[in-house]
Structure 1
Amino acid sequence: MAGVRRPAPTDGTQASYRRAGFWLDDLVRSGVDTLAPRPSLTADAWFDVAIVGGGLTALWTAHELSKADPGLRIAVLEREIAGFGASGRNGGWCSALFPRSTGSLERSHGRSHAIAMRRAMIDTVDVVGRTAAEEGIDCDFAKGGTIVFARSEAQRQLAEADVLEAREYGVDELEYWPETVVAGRFGATGHDGATPSAVYDPACASVHPAKLVRGLARVVESRGVAVFERTEVVDWSAGRVRVRSLDGSGAEATVSARHVIIATEGYGARLPRVGRRILPLYSLMIATEPLPDAVWDDIGLAHGHTFSDYRHLLVYGQRTADNRFAFGGRGARYHWGSSIDPDFERVDRVFEHLHTTLREFFPAIGDAAVTHRWGGALGVARDWHATASYNPKTGVGFAGGYVGDGLSTTNLAGRTLADLVLGRATALTELPWVNHRSPLWEPEPLRFAGANLGLLGMGLADAEERITQRPSLISRALGPLVGH
């Protein structure tokens, strides 16, 4: 697409993939996976289904299609290695979160559809855990729920409003924990050093995302799905995908397919006919060294717990299976022309902010060292509304726009796309995100200005709340633009 800077591919070595973050590095360090690329596609080929992308959306779709119809010829086409993008770099939350709030979904689609979407998301958390176990994918799945701390008076008001809204719809089982309960369980602090209150959501599990996505790739291969890595898609249309091998040969080939599924999330911004449908926004993460059990006893987080707070410039964390903190957040800016580049994955200012914020959350970590710093692009639709879409006339499908809530939503997308491709009318194909078409992002310079002003606004909203101790007026004004 004109104006989009196409990043140079990695050199395809183990070292280049390990640099993509703690999770992928951990696979090599622990001997689980060498990250050696699978063969590229170097000759013309025909498949029933060609899936562009090698992340969780692509692999869950391949998994569900191959399970439903083992006779289907399915190809997964990945520019680097399976899980190289957001699927192998995220915070490891298998949650029921959806980018649009329940209230927003009700306003757009009606109450019954909004409730159906919430139920589907909650169910999906258990589907991921159950399927991983059935397929023998050891991804450290532990369903401990999410604790969202309210670390100021303004955040406490937002927390109480969340619980009230959940009760109104009667689907999410949120619990409000006052300061006395939090003090007895967690060594967390608020903005003023006092004990915060919190909201507990049981519909979340912590996961090692790279183990999940790489394990899923092995499973679909065992079912006969062809997974081509180091295979760059340079163009596509209905029934046809053009690729170029990145294995050194530079070979070009054409894939003919009855169904073409675009499953590239933030990286789709550089593809023809996707472009402005998706805005790539960077989220960055850190991981600490493993912490002693005594420190975890003071902190109070168990395996399976994920955590955040009610700030507007989002942060998220978990306790990993090997007793580290994996902690991330927004704050890195959007880059002109929807550019994606490895240089954008490392912003010292944001890394330092994350480290400081983590120590403010849990002072017991003391001077624990940060061992890994990384980041990656997630995908944002113009109306913050994820979709799973398919056009039976053209045979083209698309899923994405998860805004960072994709680890579980990708599974729902895969199951939904499988039903749509196979022409099955099910409860999943009736969900309100099916065939939702978001408006395009504005052309530059409006896109650059709007995206970065939005990030700035979220930061200002947090500052406003620290000063006024009331829910932010800035956030209220921005709410409709970010799915609330």
Structure 2
Amino acid sequence: MPSARSIDSIAKAKPYPLWWDQIPRKPTRPPLGEAIAVDVAIVGGGFTGLWTSYYLAVRNPELTIAVLERDFIGYGASGRNGGWCYAGFASDLEKIEQLSNTETARRWGRVLIDALDEINRVVDEEGIDCDWQRGGTIHLFRNGGQKARAEGHVASVHRLGWTDADARLLSLGETNERIRATRSIGAEFSPHNAAIHPAKLVAGLATAAERRGVTIYENTEATGIEAGVVATNRATVSAPIVIRATEGYTAEIDGHERELAPLYSLMLATEPLSDAAWNQIGLDDRETFGDYRHMVIYGQRTADGRIAFGGRGAPYDFGSRIRRGAEFSPDHHVSLWGTLTELFPVLEGTRVSHRWGGVLGVARDWTP
């Protein structure tokens, strides 16, 4: 159980994402002012909408493209997540193989790794400062059941053509060279992951898209999406191509309530840690980290020396309802802090600087 001091620190922490300290926390672009007609209308100003607009503009500079964002760029999961640029699915490749065939699973897995390389290329080419560090990801196993799951996963991806260069098991000694958590007995390591500052990436991507002619309207809420038209709280946008990129907030659009499940994930961030603390924890290459428990956890060492740590916590609400207050419940964050300090006892007494959460859009069968 976290100490009274820790509980007080969590209650006093800033109730918004750590990442938002580096971007404006309000709209900075004008809303839609009048009815318009464009070639492509994209609803949602997060990664899905912005990457789509960027590549459309790169491939065809003649297109007129409008991105409509209800709040501000990066308001949703794109500006709240754990900062993992990760070559993986929510479901594993074995499930993709079962739903299709072996060759499709291999191809999809390779596409994810290639996507990591492509994002790195765009970040460099567009001059986006997002604290990119490709240190890989490490998943601990801390009991026999977790070890069996890690062994099964590595065997599965190796059967599909991966090698130790893509995913391998680490001994306890090798694990402790990278991360020193309590009760570890080993880990799985993959180099195919980068730690990033997600809000800086989303802001840089928006600027890159605008340089290529994309128009972004903030503070413009889509109230209806139909073929060829988007109704908003301000005016109507007509377009032969309409792309819904609302992810976790899709359930709030009439007629789309059940298309994606809005699942909550919660996070907190520590104050910058001392060198002495980092010497006990590790993560010298800013590896992202988690473990093989059933309840997902995830973390990273930020560029400014904090731990940003998250996991599932707030329950799914019946009927895909989204409750804004669930994102900031101190009780859920106290539980999350207890998990983090159990992994790294040296953190007990450390101040929690930020606590937050949000919804992400998950396919109801957990497949892409």
Of 223, 236, 249, which residue of structure 1 is paired with 2:212? 223
Of 14, 17, 24, which residue of structure 2 is paired with 1:21? 17
Note the 1:44-59 alignment, pairs <5 A: 44-59=35-50
Match of 2:272, SS state, is coil
Work out whether 1:181 is the aligned partner of 2:174. yes
Of 195, 198, 204, which residue of structure 2 is paired with 1:206? 195
Match of 1:176, SS state, is strand
| Counterpart amino acid of residue 309 in structure 1 | D
Match in the other structure for 1:14: none
Gaps of 5+ in 1: 1-17, 245-251, 387-484
- Partners of 1:288 and 1:371 within 8 A in 2: yes
| Counterpart amino acid of residue 200 in structure 1 | F
Of 326, 334, 352, which residue of structure 1 is paired with 2:308? 326
Of 121, 124, 137, which residue of structure 1 is paired with 2:128? 137
Match of 1:307, SS state, is strand
Note the 1:261-410 alignment, pairs <5 A: 261-386=243-368
Which fold has the larger relative contact order, with Cα–Cα distance below 8 Å and residues 6 or more apart in sequence? 2
Structure 2 CA distance, aligned partners of 1:51 and 1:131? 21
Gaps of 5+ in 2: 1-13
Structure 2 CA distance, aligned partners of 1:220 and 1:183? 42
Decide whether aligned partners of structure 1 residues 153 and 55 sit closer, same or farther in structure 2, where only a CA change above 3 A counts: same
Match in the other structure for 1:417: none
Match of 1:161, SS state, is helix
Match in the other structure for 1:437: none
Structure 2 CA distance, aligned partners of 1:78 and 1:186? 39
Note the 1:184-195 alignment, pairs <5 A: 184-190=177-183, 195=184
| Counterpart amino acid of residue 181 in structure 1 | E
Structure 2 CA distance, aligned partners of 1:184 and 1:34? 38
Of 144, 157, 177, which residue of structure 2 is paired with 1:166? 157
Decide whether aligned partners of structure 1 residues 98 and 88 sit closer, same or farther in structure 2, where only a CA change above 3 A counts: same
Alignment root-mean-square deviation, CA: 1.4
Match in the other structure for 2:5: none
Of 99, 107, 114, which residue of structure 2 is paired with 1:116? 107
What do residues 84-140 of structure 1 show as CA deviations (whole Å, max 9, x unaligned)? 000000000000111221111111111101110000011111111111111011000
| TM, length-normalised to structure 2 | 0.93
Match in the other structure for 2:77: 86
Decide whether aligned partners of structure 1 residues 208 and 303 sit closer, same or farther in structure 2, where only a CA change above 3 A counts: farther
Structure 2 CA distance, aligned partners of 1:56 and 1:156? 34
Q: How many aligned residue pairs are there?
A: 353
Deviation at residue 35 of structure 1 after TM alignment: 4.3
Deviating above 6 A after TM superposition, structure 1's stretches of 4 or more consecutive aligned residues are none
Decide whether aligned partners of structure 1 residues 20 and 365 sit closer, same or farther in structure 2, where only a CA change above 3 A counts: closer
Match of 2:258, SS state, is helix
Deviation at residue 336 of structure 1 after TM alignment: 2.8
- Partners of 1:188 and 1:196 within 8 A in 2: no
